[in-house]
Amino acid sequence: MSFSTTTKNEITLLKNTKSESIAVLSAFVRNNAYIKDDNIIITTENIKVASMIKSYIKFLYNINVNINKINNLNLYKNKLNEIRIKDKVTFILEDLGYQDNEGIYLDKVPEYIVGANEEIRAYLRGVFLSSGSINDPKSSYHMELTISKMEEAIFIQKLLNIFELNAKILSRDKGYMIYIKEAEKISDYLKLLHANNAVMYYENIRIYHEEKNKTNRLNNCEQANTDKIVGAGAKQLDQIELIEENIPFDLLDDKIKEAITYRKKYPETSLKELSEIISLETGKPITKSGLNHRFRKIKELSDRFNK
């Protein structure tokens, strides 16, 4: 079962007030239903969503409707669940803000349907149930709503952005896509829908990815530092080799000899680590800065012969 389906199934279990139920059903009808032969026809692949719609129709309008299986025009998808509302059609369409009292379609849902935050949340739940999808966070961060009418798409985007979700719109061949790609915003969107189990799952995966990326960045940083240390040590060994080829070791300054001896003994250690080793083994403290000064002297010596 996909993450979208699991989330939708969770939403269908929510208890709604009458005004919230109207908002959910309004969004679903405006973005999913069509009118034919004075019937309101609603279709969905999800049987639990269909059952929820059926219960809302009974609750709000005291009408019993059936859920029928019909073939999907897309042969590669499951059959659709169809609900036909045959009674009180005009009243229902007006009550849900689909049309006015003259039967004219309303480009924008009436304000009373989305008059408060909870009604707005309910309307957005209805939109998601009718035309939304969210990728499983294990694969990618992406939420989208497929909307056929431009005015409705702009309206839904505005509702989403009341909650600072940074929703954007793209024009498609057959309508418009409202989308969110930021992981944190998608998590906020799920909270907005009251899909609490989905939020917990999403947050766990998101946090895991963030920690994994953080660990990878730290590992990369450590590897870069290691490469830098190893590179510096290798360069110092080349300088030492050039000095040894041209100057007898016994003629070198004692401090330079000590630095050379320990660098050859510990070729891949950092200056800080090497200074600590020398201090411990010789009993004569030397700082990283002091050791670095010796290696500058070694470089100056090697430069005389590096022609």
The answer to whether residues 275 and 221 touch, using CB atoms and an 8 Å cutoff, is no
- Residue 88: what pLDDT? 93
Q: For 26-43, what is the mean pLDDT?
A: 92
- Residue 61: what pLDDT? 94
First vs last C-alpha separation in the chain: 71
DSSP state of 105: B
Amino acid at 23: A
Average pLDDT along the chain: 87
pLDDT tens for residues 186-197?
A: 999 999 999 989
pLDDT of 8 higher than 90: yes
pLDDT of 159 higher than 80: yes
Distances (CA, A) of 87 to 39, 58, 103: 8, 12, 16
Closest CA to 9 of 197, 147, 192, 185: 197
Strand-strand pairing, 67-70 and 80-85: antiparallel
- Looking at the whole model, is its pTM more than 0.95? no
DSSP state of 103: S
Least trusted range by pLDDT, from 32-36, 173-177, 185-189, 229-233? 229-233
DSSP secondary structure letters along 180-212: E--HHHHHHHHHHTT-HHHHHHHHHHHHHHHHH
- Residue 219: what pLDDT? 66
77 pLDDT band (50/70/90 cuts)? low
pLDDT tens for residues 244-275?
A: 888 887 778 888 888 888 888 888 788 788 78
Encoded tokens for 22: 């109207």
Closest CA to 304 of 239, 252, 232: 239
- Residue 21: what pLDDT? 95
The larger pLDDT score, comparing residue 203 to residue 24, is at: 24
Least trusted range by pLDDT, from 42-46, 126-130, 205-209? 205-209
278 pLDDT band (50/70/90 cuts)? confident
pLDDT of 75 higher than 70: no
Helix (H/G/I), strand (E/B), else coil: 270: coil
Encoded tokens for 206: 């998101």
pLDDT tens for residues 196-240?
A: 899 899 888 887 767 676 766 766 676 666 667 667 777 878 878
